[in-house]
């Protein structure tokens, strides 16, 4: 706890209607989660079927059901936690009518508001409106600049060009962009070509690679003979440094591709809280395995964040304890590398998402807390 009585974290990774999405990505992990039994939708032959008829749940406007629920939820969360970054994702959040008004309502409470969207429902009008929110950033999944490379996400050239146009519009409207590129056997061989395409946006976006994980990796993980293609990116890092995260992240990505397991420990649950629109809180944003409680139902759930015994299983500075942790690697690992001293403050600050005083202050507080916990355990 800091002097305000609030628990310091770095990110609230907030998931809004995780089941409501207009995409059907080959490596989606949401359907494989056993975290919840109450699903908003189901799919039949790849087509969304709503489990309820109340479409008002997909509308954010003053005094709507969703408006009242989210304002109640965030009033409680923001009273208990000191968090500089709010990340909002789905599902696909732009399936919710009025979602940009939600961004506007929450943005003043945070140093950074990051929005994750698959980009299919974006247009220039929406992008122009988002550009008026000064602390808004966008996380944009894109596995390649060609349909072949991005085929795990989209299936036709028209949509591929629509995504590329929206990426260009985001840059033109000066919205900071973080691209998430999932590495699979489908796109790995052409990855340098993709980076060369993205160099037109030097210093205006950053590309985070993440290897395909868990069950989808059984059929999509890159083949051994393809790994030299990513090794070439490591060797040519300086050619692409204006659009890539720190070198250590790229090197460790390459090591993961070779070994199919993470090489470092994980402290992510101490820095990021995962919350859901129904009030559920989980200790890990990368794998929905256990529930700490529900804001709307459990009085003591706030006290469990960072202290529940689940954290001792999910975190370690050397090697991960749990099987699914050993096969997990995401852009959030950049926080691990900073806390573990693998990347410098200068490298960390090169990332627009983390380059602000509030993040730095909370990281110091978290680091001090972890040192105290280590001293007690020893």
- 248: CB partners within 8 A, 6+ apart: 337, 342, 343, 347
In this predicted structure, what is the pLDDT of residue 48? 55
In this predicted structure, what is the pLDDT of residue 1? 57
- 101: CB partners within 8 A, 6+ apart: 60, 61
- Across the strands, what pairs with 180? 141, 208
pLDDT lower than 50: segments of the chain: 32-34, 378
In this predicted structure, what is the pLDDT of residue 204? 97
Q: Are 248 and 342 in contact (CB under 8 A)?
A: yes
In this predicted structure, what is the pLDDT of residue 19? 80
In this predicted structure, what is the pLDDT of residue 107? 98
Q: What is the pLDDT of residues 177-210, one digit of tens each?
A: 999 999 999 999 999 999 999 999 999 999 999 9
Q: Phi/psi of residue 315, each to 5°?
A: -125, 150
Q: Encoding tokens for residue 275? A: 């919350």
Is the torsion defined by CA of 187, 169, 205, 102 positive or negative? Answer: negative
Measured from the Cβ of residue 218, the count of other Cβ atoms closer than 10 Å reads 8
Q: Are 85 and 114 in contact (CB under 8 A)?
A: yes
């Amino acid at each position: 706890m800091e002097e305000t009585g609030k628990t310091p974290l770095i990110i609230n990774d907030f998931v809004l209607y995780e089941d409501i999405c207009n995409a059907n990505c080959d490596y989606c992990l949401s359907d494989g989660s056993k975290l919840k039994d109450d699903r908003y939708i189901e799919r039949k032959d790849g087509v969304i079927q709503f489990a309820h008829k109340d479409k008002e749940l997909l509308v954010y406007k003053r005094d709507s059901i969703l408006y009242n629920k989210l304002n109640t939820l965030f009033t409680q969360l923001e009273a208990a936690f000191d968090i500089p970054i709010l990340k909002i994702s789905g599902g696909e959040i732009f399936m919710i009518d009025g979602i940009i008004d939600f961004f506007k309502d929450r943005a003043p409470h945070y140093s950074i508001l990051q929005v994750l969207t698959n980009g299919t429902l974006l247009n220039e009008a929406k992008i122009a409106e988002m550009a008026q929110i000064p602390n808004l950033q966008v996380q944009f999944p894109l596995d390649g600049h060609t349909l072949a490379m991005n085929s795990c996400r989209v299936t036709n050239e028209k949509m591929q060009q629509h995504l590329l146009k929206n990426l260009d519009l985001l840059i033109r409207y000066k919205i900071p962009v973080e691209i998430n590129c999932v590495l699979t056997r489908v796109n790995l061989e052409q990855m340098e070509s993709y980076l060369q395409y993205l160099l037109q946006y030097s210093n205006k976006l950053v590309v985070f690679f993440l290897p395909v994980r868990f069950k989808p990796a059984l059929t999509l993980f890159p083949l051994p003979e393809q790994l030299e293609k990513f090794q070439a990116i490591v060797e040519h890092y300086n050619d692409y440094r204006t659009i890539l995260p720190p070198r250590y992240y790229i090197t460790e990505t390459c090591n993961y591709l070779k070994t199919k397991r993470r090489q470092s420990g994980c402290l992510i649950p101490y820095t990021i809280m995962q919350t859901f629109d129904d009030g559920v809180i989980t200790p890990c944003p990368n794998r929905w395995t256990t529930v700490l409680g529900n804001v709307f139902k459990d009085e003591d759930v706030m006290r469990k964040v960072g202290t529940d015994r689940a954290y001792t299983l999910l975190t370690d500075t050397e090697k991960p304890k749990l099987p699914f942790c050993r096969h997990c690697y995401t852009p959030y690992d950049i926080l691990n590398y900073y806390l573990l001293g693998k990347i410098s403050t200068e490298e960390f600050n090169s990332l627009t998402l983390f380059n602000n005083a509030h993040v730095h202050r909370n990281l110091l507080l978290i680091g001090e807390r972890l040192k105290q916990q280590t001293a007690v355990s020893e």
